[in-house]
């Protein structure tokens, strides 16, 4: 029986990743390489669409980038000097090849391809209205709503039709759009989802993270600003448009905690340095007498280094991770069903035996994995296991492109701190405060009136309207502070 690795089931999934290149002699090859660097953001499927000046070409498939674009001839099927690619986990719409991006459609103005990172929180409402007006959908993805809105807009140019469509959207999006005229990259007015711009010689590239620019040999130019559209034509001309007015940016703070690769730069800050600083804040806020600081690999490593440096407790790799366990595996027997964590993590017994351990992890979601890791440390002979978390309690679901469980399954939504500690069976449990998290990533505490990040998964304060959620619940979504309207 093929099942999902239980360790992955107790993690927040990393949304999606997008990459695009225009005026590149090997655009599809560069895009495939960029997607390799973004593989951590989505491992269910990958796709690339290219354009050679006359025709659009597409290749999509389930699984990793290497499974779809490393075989001989795969890139040869994608000729042209412009290409966009996408890696995904399913958030809105679910899995299935019909939802694998970039999505492509033939509009009256010609071909139109779009790669989308994020989630449209009023997609169901928009879709229902479009269907009533005669639209026929080929996927269940919220991204296809954007295509239909562009197709039905009455504005004369593709750029104006895209802007017209985006004015109707709620939620979060970073988009890379390809048309016969060139490439458009844009970001939602609050900048919730990331997007950066770079260059490879004369080619312009866009990516979800700076690490993708590094991997393809590109030079980082700048972030695509919140609410900005950057249009690039085949003569290399760049045009920056800001059609949505000025808003206070709210980039997702969980990019610093977990989603981005540590060798990326997000919101002007090294992700690695931010995670070490979070660990330092955690050590100051929640000290404990112990012999070793042990990270839960790999995401807990930078925070554990910061915790060890601030506390003076030695850092050690008390858990060793196998890098050869994929997201799925064959379950050989019922008895092995409880060994899911050990397939991926194993205690370094000679190091932890007889020691008081501080375990550092990036987050607690359902709590089952945390409980199993604590048990593993005790089985290896640790005398005390203190659990420290490099983010505040995740007590609210995300509606902006992160695949979180429903709120009733989040441990922090069901329990206060002491019951959580008892559930995971640790000797003590502490989370970094939301002020401490802000100090670590931005140098100042959280301004409750104007938070500098989207932190709704911790605070429950959603920065946009949530129309589809309100419809499902049969009431208006209750927001904790006023929402800035898109002009």
Do the Cβ atoms of 353 and 19 come closer than 8 Å? Answer: no
Tell me the three state secondary structure of residue 237. coil
Find where tokens 């989207």 sit.
454
Closest Cα partner for 402 from 297, 260, 298? 260
Closest Cα partner for 99 from 63, 142, 50, 40? 142
State the Cα–Cα distance between residues 12 and 138, nearest whole angstrom: 28
Do the Cβ atoms of 148 and 154 come closer than 8 Å? Answer: no
Q: Are strands 45-51 and 103-107 parallel, antiparallel or unpaired?
A: unpaired
State the Cα–Cα distance between residues 307 and 287, nearest whole angstrom: 9
Closest Cα partner for 34 from 101, 86, 97, 88? 86
Active site residue 16: yes
Helices (H) and strands (E) in the chain, counts: 17, 23
CA distances from 100 to 88, 115, 158, 190, 464 (A): 8, 9, 23, 26, 26
Q: Exactly one of 16, 252, 454, 457 is catalytic; which is it? A: 16
Closest Cα partner for 178 from 267, 265, 78? 78
Name the token pair of 309: 């440096």
Do the Cβ atoms of 178 and 82 come closer than 8 Å? Answer: yes
Length of the chain: 487
Max Cα-Cα span within the chain:
73
CA of residue 348 relative to chain centroid, distance: 31
Active site residues: 16
């Amino acid at each position: 029986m093929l099942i999902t690795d239980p360790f992955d089931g107790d993690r927040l999934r990393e949304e999606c990743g997008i990459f695009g290149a225009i005026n590149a002699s090997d655009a599809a090859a560069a895009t495939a390489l960029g997607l390799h660097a973004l593989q951590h953001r989505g491992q269910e499927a990958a796709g690339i669409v290219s354009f050679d000046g006359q025709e659009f070409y597409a290749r999509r498939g389930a699984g990793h980038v290497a499974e779809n674009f490393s075989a001989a001839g795969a890139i040869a099927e994608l000729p042209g000097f412009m290409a966009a690619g996408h890696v995904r986990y399913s958030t809105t719409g679910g899995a299935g090849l019909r939802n694998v991006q970039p999505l492509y459609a033939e509009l009256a103005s010609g071909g139109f391809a779009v790669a989308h990172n994020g989630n449209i929180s009023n997609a169901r409402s928009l879709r229902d209205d479009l269907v009533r007006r005669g639209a026929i959908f080929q996927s269940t993805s919220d991204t296809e709503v954007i295509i239909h809105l562009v197709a039905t807009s009455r504005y004369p140019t593709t750029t104006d039709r895209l802007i017209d469509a985006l004015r109707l959207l709620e939620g979060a999006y970073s988009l890379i759009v390809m048309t016969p005229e060139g490439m458009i990259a844009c970001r939602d007015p609050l900048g919730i989802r990331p997007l950066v711009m770079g260059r490879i010689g004369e080619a312009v590239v866009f990516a979800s993270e700076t690490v993708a620019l590094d991997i393809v040999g590109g030079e980082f130019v700048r972030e695509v600003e919140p609410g900005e559209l950057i249009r690039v034509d085949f003569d290399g001309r760049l045009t920056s448009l800001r059609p949505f007015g000025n808003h206070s940016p709210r980039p997702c703070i969980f990019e610093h905690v977990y989603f981005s690769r540590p060798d990326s730069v997000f919101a002007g800050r090294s992700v690695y340095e931010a995670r070490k600083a979070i660990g330092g804040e955690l050590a100051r806020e929640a000290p404990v007498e112990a012999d070793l600081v042990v990270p839960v690999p790999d995401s807990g490593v930078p925070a554990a280094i910061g915790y060890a440096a601030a506390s003076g407790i030695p850092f050690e790799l008390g858990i060793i991770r196998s890098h050869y366990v994929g997201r799925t595996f064959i379950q050989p027997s019922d008895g092995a069903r409880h060994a899911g964590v050990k397939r991926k993590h194993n205690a370094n017994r000679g190091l932890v035996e007889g020691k008081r351990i501080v375990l550092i992890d990036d987050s607690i979601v359902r709590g089952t994995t945390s409980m199993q890791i604590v048990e593993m440390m005790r089985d290896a002979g640790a005398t005390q296991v203190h659990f420290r978390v490099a983010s505040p309690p995740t007590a609210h679901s995300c509606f902006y492109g992160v695949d979180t469980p429903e709120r009733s399954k989040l441990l922090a939504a069901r329990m206060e701190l002491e019951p959580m500690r008892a559930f995971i069976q640790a000797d003590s449990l502490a989370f970094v405060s939301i002020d401490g998290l802000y100090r670590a990533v931005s140098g100042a505490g959280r301004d409750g009136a104007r938070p500098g990040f989207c932190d709704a998964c911790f605070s429950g304060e959603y920065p946009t309207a949530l129309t589809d959620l309100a419809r499902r619940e049969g009431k208006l979504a209750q927001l904790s502070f006023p929402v800035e309207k898109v002009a």
